Amino acid sequence: MHPAFSVVFFTTATGAGYGLLALLGVLGGFQIIPLDFWLGFIGMGLALGLIVAGLLSSTGHLGRPERAWRAFSQWRSSWLSREGVASVTTFIPAGLFGIGWVFFGSSGGWVTVAGLLTACGAVVTVCTTGMIYASLKPIAQWHSRFTLPGYLIFSAMTGSVILNALLQGFGRGSTAILAFSLLLVLLGWGWKLATWRYNDALEIPTNANTATGLAGGTVRTLEWPHTEENYLLKEMGFRIARKHSARLRQITQCVAFALPVFLLAATFTLPWPFATAASLLAAIVQFAGMLVERWLFFAEAKHTVTLYYGR
C-alpha cells in the first residue's frame, strides 16, 4: 500500500495521544498521579493536541477534505465512521475531566467518572482505528490477529513513555510508571517482531487461478489491463525493495524500541534533571521510530487487486 505521510502521522499521533489520555484519565481520576495544575494542563493539552493534530492530518490524503464530515454518517457499517464518532465523543468526558482536574483541582466523584469514561473512549477509539485495517480481507498482512492488539499495545506504549517524561519533568517521577513504561516498550518490541515473523511466513491463498475459478491449470495474462501506472497500482500496488524493508526494520527496532529501553533503564539510576533528559529523549526518539514503523506497516502490505496486474 502507498504510505501517505498524512495517514502515517495520523496513526502515530492519535495512538500516542489516546494512550496518554487514557492513562491520565485513570491515574489522574484515582489520584495515583498528583493533582498538579501545570502537570494536568500540559498533560491534557499534549494528549488532546496530538489527537487533534492527527485527526486533522488524516484529511490530508482526501481528494475533497471539506467532505470529511460525511464519514460520520456511516457508523452502522464503516469502522472509519465509527472511529470518527468515537474520537469526537471522547472529547466530551475528556473536557469534563480536564476542567475538574486542572481548574477545580479535585478528584473523586464526577471527576473520577469522567476520567474513566475518557479512558474507555480512548480505548474504543484506538480499537476502531485498528479495525479499519484488521477488517480488510484483501490485505492479508492486516487481516490477522496481530493488527488490533498491536494498535492497543503501541498506543499504551507511546502514551506511557510520554507520561513518564512529563512526571520526570515535574519532579514527580514514579518508579512504578517508569517500570510500566519499560515493560510496555519490551512488549511492543516483542509484538512487532512476532508480527513481522508472521507476515514473512504468510502464504496468501488467493492467486490468478483461484480468482478465476480455473484451478486445473495455470492462468496467464496475454494483455495487461493498462500500459501505464494508474491509481490502483499507485495506491494498492506500492512496492518496497527487500533491502530497504530490512534496513527500515532495523531502524524501527533501534529507534522505536532499543533506544527507549536503554534510556528508560538509565532513568532508574540517574538523578534529576538527567532522568528528565533521558525520559524526554526516550519519548522523542520513540515517536520518530514509530513513524518509521507505521510507514512500514503500510508499505509492506499487499492488496490482492495487484494480481489483476500480474504482481
The distance of Cα 75 from the centroid of its chain, to the nearest Å, equals 21
Contacts of 124 (CB under 8 A, 6+ apart): 86, 90
Helix or strand or coil: residue 286?
helix
pLDDT at 58: 78
User: Could you tell me the three cell numbers for 311?
Assistant: 504482481
At residue 139, φ and ψ (nearest 5 deg) are -115, 100
**Rounded-to-integer distance, Cα 297 and Cα 311, Å:** 19
pLDDT at 212: 67
Amino acid of residue 185: V
**What is the DSSP secondary structure assignment for residue 31, as one 8-state letter?**
T
- Please enumerate, as own/partner, the contacts of 213-222 that have beta carbons within 8 Å and a separation of 24 or more: 221/310
Q: Are 266 and 278 in contact (CB under 8 A)?
A: yes
Amino acid of residue 45: G
SS3 sequence, 289-310?
A: HHHHHHHHHHHCCCEHHHHHHC
β partners of residue 303: 139
Helix or strand or coil: residue 2?
coil
For the chain, state the CA radius of gyration.
Answer: 22
pLDDT at 308: 64
User: Could you tell me the three cell numbers for 55?
Assistant: 485527526
pLDDT at 160: 97
Residues of the chain with pLDDT > 90, as a percent, come to 59
Length in residues, the chain: 311
Largest CA distance in the chain: 73
User: What string of DSSP letters covers 209-227?
Assistant: HHHHT-TTS----SS-S-S
Query: Considering only CA atoms, which of 165, 208, 230, 201 is closest in space to residue 16?
Result: 165
pLDDT at 139: 84
- Residue-wise pLDDT for 136-146, tens only, equals 888 888 889 99
Neighbours of 178 (CB within 10 A): 22
Amino acid of residue 256: A
For the chain, residues with pLDDT lower than 50 are none
User: What string of DSSP letters covers 90-115?
Assistant: HHHHHHHHHIIIIIS---STHHHHHH
Per domain, the residue ranges of the chain are 5-63+71-309
β partners of residue 139: 303
Q: Are 162 and 44 in contact (CB under 8 A)?
A: no
- Please enumerate, as own/partner, the contacts of 131-136 that have beta carbons within 8 Å and a separation of 24 or more: 131/79, 131/82, 132/79, 132/80, 132/83, 135/79
Q: What CATH code would you report for 5-63+71-309?
A: 1.20.1630
* pTM of the complete model: 0.90
